[in-house]
Structure 1
C-alpha cells in the first residue's frame, strides 16, 4: 500500500512539472459520532463516516491540446473512513471519466459518472447541502443513484443558463435491460442504490444571476427489466428548486415528484409479502416531496442552517415531516467542525427513517418476513437524531 501511494505521489509530481498539463490529488476525510432514537431495536450511539460529506480521495487532471481545448480525466474513490472500506465495493465508485473540455462549446466526458449521477446535483438547492439529514432522507436516498457506462455533456454558461445531460448505457443486447438478476430491493437480491439497474438518463437546466440560483432536473433510473418498479430505487424524478442570497442569508425552496408506474407488492416482495404492512397499503407508485430552509452565515467562521422537509406517498403509505438544524464552524479554509439535529415525524402508515432504509416492514413488526437489517422505524414511530464530527479537505 505504501509503495502504491508513493507511486501516485511521484506520478502527480512528475506530471505537474509539465506546464501544459496538470494532475491534482484531492479528497475529504469526514468522521463523527451519532446518536439516534426510534430504531427497530431501540436507540443507538455510533461512529459515522460522512456526516457532512462522504469521505473520498481522487485524481483529476487536464492536458492543453491547443485551440482552447483540453483533455480531462477524473478518478475518485468514495470511502467509509471509519473502517477503511470502499463505498458499494467499487474502487472508483465516485467517478472514472475521461473527456474533452472547451470554453466555447462545453465539455463532454465518458465512463463511470458514479456518484456524479445527475440527480446528485440536487444538493445545489438543498438548505442542508446533502448532509446526513437532508434532501435524500424522506425519499429513501433516491437522489443518490449511480451512473455507469455513460456519456455526459455540460454546456458553457450562456446568459446565466447552463445545460447538463447524461445518458447511461446498459451494455446489453436488450433495450433498457440491465445485468441479469433481481431488481434492486427485492428479497434475496443485491439491494440499494448502485446495485443492478437498467438504463438511466437525465437532463438538468440551471440559471444563476446575482443572488438567484434556479435548477430543474429530470432523470430516470430503470430496473434490470427496463421498468420503473420502485419509486425509491428505479423511477422517474422531476425536481426543481431555487435559492436566493441576501446579505448573510441564503433562502431555499424546492419540490420533487417521483413516479414508478410499474411498482407492485408482488414485483417487489415476491411471495414473501410482509404480513404486517398497514391495512390497505401497497408499494407506492408516486411520492411528492417539498422543502424550505435557509443558511445564515452569522460570522466568517460560523454558518447555521435550518430546513423542513415533507414527503407524501400514495397507495396508503402516509406522510412524513422532518425538521433539521445544523451548524458548521470553520477552523481554517480546509477544516471544519459540524453538527446537525433532526426530528422525523411519521403518520400512522408511514415508516420513513433517518437512515433512508428500504421500503417495507422491519424485523420488529414482521419477524417472519421482515428485513432484519432494516433501519426503518415502526409504522407511525418518530425518530430523533444528532450527529457531530470533523471534516478536512486536501
Structure 2
C-alpha cells in the first residue's frame, strides 16, 4: 500500500510539473555488471547499480517572485535500480529551498546531502567520480554529505565564482553529533566548506576546502572525518582534455580506536594515518561526437607507516543518443607492502576475512596485495 501511495504521489507531482511548467521531474538510471579480483575470499561477479554514477530521481522548481528573484527548491533521492530499493532516506541527496537572483546569487537551506562541496571534485577528476576514480585511494572521502545546512553560491564575476556551506549538528554541543539513549554521540559532526572556481579560455581551475567532523566533534578519521584541501583543473586542446589535481587530508585526532582497529590487527609498526597526500593526472580523447576514451593515474601516500597506493584506470563511453550512453572502465590498484586500499572505497583496516563463514567486514585485499576490476553498463536520463 505504501508503495502504491508513493507511486501515485510521484505521478501527481509529474502532472503538476506539466501544468505549472515551473516544476520538473527528472532522474537517471545506471545499471551494469562488474568483475573484481583480490577481494576477501577470492574474486566476485556482481550486478551493480551505479558504477558509472548513482541512479536517482528528483523534483526541482522555481517561482518568480519579481524583480529578478525566484524561490527555488530541490528534492532528490538515490535508488538501487537493480533491486528498486531506496538508498538511504527518500530525499537523502537533496532537500532544499531557497532564493536566487542573477545579481545576488543563490542562497538555500535544508539537506545539502550530495551537494557537500567535496563532491564538486568531480570537476577535476578525469574519470568523473566513477567507481575507479578520485575517491578510490581516499576510501570515499570525496563522497562526503551534509544535512541541517545552508549554502551560498555567488554569481559568476569575470569567470570567477564562489560557494560556501555551513551545516549544524542540531546538538547542544556545537561540533559533535546528537547523542543516543546511552548519551554517546552518533553520526557525523559539524561540516563546513568553501570553494572557488575560475573558468576561462580553454580550461578551468578550482580550489575546495572542507571540514567533516566525527561524531565526537573532532577530526578522528582521515578517510571520513577530516580536513581536506583540494586544487585541480582542466585544459582543452582540440579533441583532448587534460586533467590534474592534488588533495591533502588531515585528521590530527585519529587513533586506532577512532578508526575501529587494534594494533594487533595491523602490520607491525602501523598506526591509524593522520595525513594523506593524493595526486592525479589524466587525459580524455573525444574521438568523435559519440565516443570518448579516458586514461588516468592516481597516487596516494598515507603517514604512520601506511605506505602508498597507485590506481591506473582506462575508461570509454559511447553515446547512443542525447540521453543514453554505454560505458566501461578497467581499474588496477597497486598497494605497497603496508597498504590495503581496495577498488570500492572500502573503510580503513584489515579485512578480517573468516574462511569458515566466507565473510569479511570490508572488501579490502590483504596488505601489499593488488586488485583488478572491470565494469560495463548503460546509463539513461530523463
Please, what TM-score do these two structures have when normalized by structure 1? 0.92
* Distance in 2 of aligned mates of 1:53 and 1:380: 29
Equivalent position SS for 1:8 = helix
1:186 match: none
Query: How far does residue 273 in structure 1 lie from its aligned partner after superposition?
Result: 1.3
Query: How far does residue 9 in structure 1 lie from its aligned partner after superposition?
Result: 3.0
* Distance in 1 of aligned mates of 2:372 and 2:102: 47
Are 1:376 and 2:370 counterparts? Answer: no
1:158 match: 157
2:15 match: 13
Question: Contact 2:221–2:258 (CA<8 Å) still a contact in 1?
Answer: no
Please, what TM-score do these two structures have when normalized by structure 2? 0.95
Question: Contact 2:247–2:278 (CA<8 Å) still a contact in 1?
Answer: yes
Query: How far does residue 180 in structure 1 lie from its aligned partner after superposition?
Result: 2.0
Query: How far does residue 249 in structure 1 lie from its aligned partner after superposition?
Result: 1.0
Q: How many residues align?
A: 377
Query: How far does residue 276 in structure 1 lie from its aligned partner after superposition?
Result: 3.3
Matches within 5 A, 1:1-394: 1-18=3-20, 22-87=22-87, 89-180=88-179, 196-269=187-260, 273=262, 275-364=264-353, 372-394=360-382
Equivalent position SS for 2:122 = helix
The 3 A distance-change label for structure 1 pair 304 and 148 is: same
The 3 A distance-change label for structure 1 pair 355 and 14 is: closer
Unaligned stretches of 5+ residues in structure 1: 183-188
1:69-110 CA-partner distances (Å, limit 9, x unpaired): 0000000001111112222x2111110000000000000000
Equivalent position SS for 1:228 = coil
Unaligned stretches of 5+ residues in structure 2: none
* Distance in 2 of aligned mates of 1:144 and 1:384: 22
Query: How far does residue 264 in structure 1 lie from its aligned partner after superposition?
Result: 0.8
* Distance in 1 of aligned mates of 2:214 and 2:265: 26
Question: Contact 2:16–2:23 (CA<8 Å) still a contact in 1?
Answer: no
Query: How far does residue 179 in structure 1 lie from its aligned partner after superposition?
Result: 2.1
* Distance in 2 of aligned mates of 1:332 and 1:31: 17
* Distance in 2 of aligned mates of 1:343 and 1:24: 40
Question: Contact 1:62–1:71 (CA<8 Å) still a contact in 2?
Answer: yes
* Distance in 2 of aligned mates of 1:333 and 1:268: 44
Question: Contact 2:293–2:317 (CA<8 Å) still a contact in 1?
Answer: yes
* Distance in 2 of aligned mates of 1:103 and 1:115: 24
RMSD after superposition: 2.0
Query: How far does residue 2 in structure 1 lie from its aligned partner after superposition?
Result: 4.2
* Distance in 2 of aligned mates of 1:77 and 1:92: 4
